[in-house]
Structures are given as C-alpha cells and as structure tokens.
C-alpha cells in the first residue's frame, strides 16, 4: 500500500531566525566544511532541518551553518513538542552522540553532577574522560550508560578524589608525550594510587628519570605491567603489583 503524505517544507535565508539549542552538540567545523563542499559541488545538502515550536534546531544544525556560510536558502520543517530527547534519537540515526555530548547536554539543563564534571575539566585544563577516570576510576560501559541516562552522580568523596588525582596528574605533564596512550596510562595510574599499590613520590621520580623508556601498552593489562617495569628501573627495592592490581580489579 502506498499513499502520499503532505509535509510542509519551508525555506528561508533568514538564518538568525533559528535558535541553536544550548543542550545540543557543539558544531564540528569538519562537518560544516564537508557540507559546504557538497553544496558547491552538487548543490545538495540533504534533508530539511527540523525545528520545534520555539525555532530550536533539533536536527540539522550543521546544515544550517553550512547554508548560512554559503548564502544558500535553508529548508526546514517544524514539528512541535520536540526536545533534547528527540534530538538524541534523531541524531543517533546519523552520527551517534558521544558520551561527552550527553555530559554537555545534561549540564546545560541544570544537572549539578554533570556541571561538576565540566567545571573540573575546565579548572584542570583536561578532558572529560580524565575527570571521569579520576573521580570514578572507570570509563566502563556501565559508567557510560549511567552518563547517557542522566542518572550519573558524584559523591563528595569522588569529587575530592578527582581533585587529588588531577593535581597529581599535573606532575606528569612534562612527560606525557612518552606516557602513551595517555588516557590508558592515567587510568591505570589513578587506580594504582587509589588501591594504595604504589608510592606516589617514587612514581613521579621514576617518570622524571626514565619516561623515555616507558613502553606503550596495547591494553590495560599491558599498561599495568609496563608501569610496574618503569617503577622498578634502577631501583634496589623492587615492587611487583601486577597480580595484586588484577585481584583488586576483580574484587571491585
């Protein structure tokens, strides 16, 4: 069975008439430039953008920017009642929201826990991933699911731990080019500190002396072993914490 469905499609060059929803994702210049190329080469940019009754762009903010920067009329449809949840659903079918996009979105609508994550990232000039690892010692699938659901919460203890870990991380800043992959290294390092398996000062001293000898890990298990090796270079008192680390990970 086939039937014609009439949908009102409007077009305008009054780009300022539209509103960018503050909770939506940040604009990607790479995406905008690719769309502008499509407009110049083919005169086509895809389906009309979608707005709600408040003129907020629910789907198509990159298309809107590309049209405005090239002077092309932008086509749009209006569907009342759409909101942040609608934007997530619509965008998942195109380019999925990253978990960091959810942090920005929930923070913007007033969720204090997500605002704390952003504030810490800004205060310590680091990534959201570093803040989540420092506070929860995890970026597991379960942790990411909590973030996406809007149910992510930070205890006072976790906020304090994040501050302590991020302060500690600063001591490694001059050597991070050698400590790769960076986030994997610090994920393991923060856990080692939290589990009480290493002497923090000794770790800093070993990195200062031997960072160039650190071997990049291809997994978290490799990284634990490689940090253990670095920790013991030229040291009279050897420490072996790989097995204990794994035991404590399994017990969490």
pLDDT at residue 5 tops 60: no
The rounded percent of the chain whose pLDDT value lies above 70 is 94
Mean pLDDT, residues 125-143: 90
Distance CA 19, CA 125 (A): 29
Mean pLDDT, residues 97-105: 84
Write down the pTM of the prediction: 0.67
Mean pLDDT, residues 171-194: 94
pLDDT category, 54, cuts 50, 70, 90?
Answer: very high
The pLDDT of residue 1: 57
pLDDT at residue 147 tops 70: yes
The pLDDT of residue 140: 82
pLDDT at residue 215 tops 60: yes
pLDDT category, 195, cuts 50, 70, 90?
Answer: very high
The pLDDT of residue 44: 72
Cis? peptide before 181, omega within 30° of 0: yes
What structural domains and CATH numbers belong to the chain? Answer: 10-97 (3.90.1530.10), 100-251 (no CATH)
């Amino acid at each position: 069975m086939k039937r014609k469905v009439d949908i009102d499609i409007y077009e305008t060059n009054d780009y300022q008439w539209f509103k960018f929803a503050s909770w939506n994702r940040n604009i990607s210049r790479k995406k905008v430039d690719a769309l502008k190329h499509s407009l110049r080469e083919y005169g086509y940019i895809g389906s009309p953008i979608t707005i709600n009754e408040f003129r907020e762009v629910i789907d198509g903010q990159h298309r809107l920017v590309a049209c405005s920067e090239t002077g092309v009329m932008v086509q749009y449809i209006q569907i009342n009642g759409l909101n942040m949840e609608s934007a997530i659903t619509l965008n998942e079918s195109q380019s999925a929201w990253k978990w960091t996009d959810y942090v920005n979105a929930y923070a913007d609508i007033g969720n204090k826990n997500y605002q704390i994550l952003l504030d810490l990232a800004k205060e310590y000039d680091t990534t959201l991933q570093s803040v989540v690892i420092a506070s929860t010692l995890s970026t597991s699938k379960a942790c990411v699911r909590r973030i996406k659901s809007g149910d992510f919460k930070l205890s006072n203890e976790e906020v304090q731990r994040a501050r302590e870990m991020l302060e500690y991380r600063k001591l490694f800043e001059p050597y991070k080019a050698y400590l790769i992959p960076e986030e994997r290294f610090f994920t393991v390092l923060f856990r080692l500190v939290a589990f009480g398996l290493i002497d923090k000062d000794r770790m800093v001293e070993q990195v200062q002396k031997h960072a160039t000898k650190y071997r990049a890990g291809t997994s978290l298990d490799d990284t634990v072993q490689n940090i253990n090796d670095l920790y013991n270079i030229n040291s009279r008192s050897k420490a072996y914490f790989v097995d204990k680390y794994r035991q404590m990970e399994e017990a969490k």
